[in-house]
Structures are given as structure tokens and as C-alpha cells.
Structure 1
């Protein structure tokens, strides 16, 4: 019994005392192992390539600017292309001469384009560079369709313009009316012209008054009054009467008034001469 108690009460030996100045290397080794693992997980090849790409992206604009500066020349010549009626190749080249001596690369082509398209006859201008010192300008002029009120011209696209030399457009029909209704006048004129030409008659002009009345002018000098209402029906009635009754005596007709319900009123040149002042 005594022996058993002694065994149970025997003290557990304690850890041997550490020597002064000694340290444990276990935790440090663990920290270095974690760091090595992190470094090993980093894709260094991709990081390096990314850094190179960023560097090149920063250097390309700088290098491009240096190359362009070295290659830049002065504009020494301008070539003008296009078919001209109202404007001229020489005048366009002279206008573009303001850019002679300017920087080949720094010159804004949109400025040249805008400047040329302000000319009355120019519908569009295309400008391009030709290395090393040349500009090529392609001009498209407005195509005049008819003379308009006050001596202006109306183009085939329905644009009104006032060049200093409208007479160069040559012999064209004469249209008239409020500026805001130019397209209405063109549409009506085209419809009537097609029907007249199909019957061997020439179209000379069409006018629309502010109050809405239409008056047609034929190439043979006959004036046809159509009024404001039922214009198309009145025009068809005139065509019918002309073909049946007036064609053979067209050189004697001065004016036809189609503003009647069942017919037309004809004014003869002989009657005009008889009603004129006598000497």
C-alpha cells in the first residue's frame, strides 16, 4: 500500500531548462516557407510580358510622333479634279492655294473641304493627301435644273443657290414660287413636263403664286392658266382641248384659261393685236 502511494505521488519530470541566448528556429522556417510558396505562385513570365507591353504602349505614340515629325513636308502642289460648268478648275486651285506651304500632316483636311463647299457652285468636295507634298481635290458641282425667282438657280436636288454667273447654266425652264415650296413646284413641273413631252409639246416654265394659283408656260409661247383648285384635272382638260382643237393653230394661240368647268377660254394673238393701240 505504501509502495503504491509512493508511485502515485512521484513528481513528473519538468522540461530541461533552456540555455541563455538560445532561440528556436521552427517558426522562422515556417514563415520562409510561406513566402517561398507565395513567390512560387506568382506568374513571373506573364508579369514580365505585361510590363513590356505597357512600356511599348507608352513608347509607340512618342515614337510615332518623332517619325511623323521627321517625315513631315510642306504642301507644294494641289491637283483639282471634276467637271465644271459654273466654277473653274483654276479658281478652285487658286482658292486651295491658301494651304500651299502648310504642314502636310498637320493641315486639317476638313477645313479645306468646308471652305470649298461654301462656294456657290460646289455641292461637295473630297480632299486627300498624296505623299509627299500634294493635295488632290475632287469637286462635284451642283446640277442646275431650272432658273428660279429673282434670277437664282434651283439644283436637281431642290437646293436654291445664287451664283454670280447663273447664265452659264444655259437654256433651262423657269420656275417660280415661294422659297418654302420649291419642292412642290419641282414635283408639279416634272409631272407636267413628262406628259407634255409625250405629246410633242415643250415645257418652258411653271409658276406658283403666293395665293396658290398655278400658271404653265409652254415652249411654243402659250400660257396656260390653271388656278388653285383641281389643277391636275384642268391640266388634263387643256391637253385634250389642245390635241383636238388647238394643235393645228398653236402659232395663233396666246393664252388658254382652263379655270372653267366644261372647257377652256382661248385668247388669240390676232385678237391681242387688234385690241392694241393704233398708230
Structure 2
């Protein structure tokens, strides 16, 4: 009886206290579950690299500017290179010298190039920096091909230019015509010059009138009128007549009109006896 009583008298753990007015519904949900899921889905490595790249891209120009500013100095000397016939080296060096004392890095080389290429004789200019404070300028001068209308010059590239001293070009053929037809005149002049050379004749000049008529001048002083039509054919006819009939008396001939269908008309020099209208 006593044993039974002792067993029954053992303490039994009481139920956990409940908050007043609360009802237990099971385990409490994780309040930060959604936030953890979002954070775990973000590619933190890629995002970090992207941010680093953006920061570097923003800092590089700033850092470069700081470095260049620290290294920058004044242009101390300018060297001009080139072979000059029409232009003057001293004048070019004086013009380029206006950039001495300017910033070595911030000076725009295209400004120097444009300024020097404005000179009539200058065709191209190349400018480069030479550390620590020098500029190198290479200049190529225009090569005149012939004298053009009104005392101007035309270069081998077909550019018409008017320097203050065209006479320094020396002895050149004389071409004339409308400016918009200059390439046609040059092409015709080259063709005729080559043909004349094959027959022992020198080319002196060629003119194209606005109405389209061509007149050729030879080195021996003979003028050949070719007109507007069938110019190449008339030129060949003149060559034939010259070789067969005129070559022995070329110093007596002043002018040849090749506009006739079956021949040419020869105008002799004043002291010579005039020939018939056709030969």
C-alpha cells in the first residue's frame, strides 16, 4: 500500500504555460524566408564585377587626365621636313612657330595641319609629336604639270592653284579651258603629247574653248586647229600630212587648220610665199 502511494506521489511535469488569450497552431513560420530566397537568387559575383567595371570606366579617364596633366609641358621645338621649290622653308617654319610654347598634349595637331595646308604650294602635311616637347612636320609640295588659264598652275593631280610666284615652275606646257573641264584637257593633252613624241614632235600647249573647239600648240611654234568634232581623227590626219609634206619645211609653217574633210590648210609665216588653201 505504501509502495503504491509512493508511485502515485511522483511529480508530473506541468504543461507549458500558455499566453493568455493565445491559441497554439503549430510551429511558427520563418519570417525571413522570402528575403533569404531573393538574396540567394542574386548572382553576387557577377554583380560585383559589373560594379567594379563601371567604377574603373569612370576612374580611367579621370586618372588619365591627371597623369597627362602631370606630364604635360610646352612645345619647345618644331622641325619642318620637305623639298621646297615653290614655297619657302623659312616662311613655313615661321608660320609653324606660332605653336611653340603651347601645350604638348592638348594642342590639336589637325589645326596645325589645316593651317599649313592653306598655303598655295602645299599639298599635304603630316604632323606628329616627338617626346618630350618636339613636333615633327612633313610637308609635300604640289608638283605643277602645266600653266593654266589666267596665269594659274595645275598640279599633276589636276588641282588648279594660284601661288604668288608661278614663274618658279619653270618651262611647262600651257593648258587652257573652263575650270570644270580641266580633267578633260589634261587627258587630251597627255594623249596628244605621247603621240607627238612618237613622231619626233614636242608638245607645247592645248586649249579648249568654251564652245568645245580644240587648238594644239607644238614646241616648234606650229599651231594646229582641230575644232569640235572628230578631234582624234583630225589630229591623226595632221600627223600624216606633216610627215609627208611639211616636215622638211616646218620652220616655215605658222598654222595648220585640220577641220577640212580631206586635207588641211596651211598658213605660212609672213616672210614666206603663201601656199594654196589646201595641201
TM-score, structure 1 as length reference = 0.85
Counterpart in 1 of 2:171? 171
CA–CA separation in structure 2 for the residues paired with 1:154 and 1:23: 107
* Equivalent position SS for 1:31: coil
Shifted more, 138-147 versus 54-63: the winner is 54-63
The Cα offsets for residues 117-166 of structure 1, whole Å up to 9 and x where unpaired, read as 11111111111111111111111211111001111001112111100011
CA–CA separation in structure 2 for the residues paired with 1:225 and 1:199: 19
The Cα offsets for residues 48-83 of structure 1, whole Å up to 9 and x where unpaired, read as 333322222222111111100001011111111222
Counterpart in 1 of 2:233? 233
Residues 214, 47 of structure 1: alpha-carbon distance in 2 compared, 3 angstrom cutoff:
closer
Checking the alignment, whether the CA contact within 8 Å between 2:252 and 2:272 is kept in structure 1 is: no
Residues 261, 34 of structure 1: alpha-carbon distance in 2 compared, 3 angstrom cutoff:
closer
Offset at residue 209 of structure 1 (A): 1.7
Offset at residue 84 of structure 1 (A): 1.6
* RMSD (Å) for aligned C-alpha atoms: 2.2
2:43 is aligned with 1:43: yes
Count of aligned pairs between the two proteins = 257
Q: Which runs of 5+ in 1 are unaligned?
A: 1-15
Residues 124, 23 of structure 1: alpha-carbon distance in 2 compared, 3 angstrom cutoff:
farther
CA–CA separation in structure 2 for the residues paired with 1:216 and 1:160: 20
Q: How does 1:1-279 map to 2 (within 5 A)?
A: 18-20=18-20, 26-27=27-28, 29-269=29-269, 272-273=270-271
Following TM superposition, the consecutive aligned residue runs of length 4 or more in structure 1 with deviations greater than 4 angstroms are 21-25
Checking the alignment, whether the CA contact within 8 Å between 2:216 and 2:223 is kept in structure 1 is: yes
Offset at residue 19 of structure 1 (A): 2.7
Counterpart in 2 of 1:8? none
CA–CA separation in structure 2 for the residues paired with 1:173 and 1:261: 29
Offset at residue 250 of structure 1 (A): 1.2
CA–CA separation in structure 1 for the residues paired with 2:272 and 2:243: 26
CA–CA separation in structure 1 for the residues paired with 2:72 and 2:92: 25
Checking the alignment, whether the CA contact within 8 Å between 2:124 and 2:140 is kept in structure 1 is: yes
TM-score, structure 2 as length reference = 0.85
CA–CA separation in structure 2 for the residues paired with 1:183 and 1:53: 56
CA–CA separation in structure 2 for the residues paired with 1:34 and 1:45: 21
Offset at residue 105 of structure 1 (A): 0.9
Structure that is richer in helix per residue? 1
Offset at residue 20 of structure 1 (A): 2.1
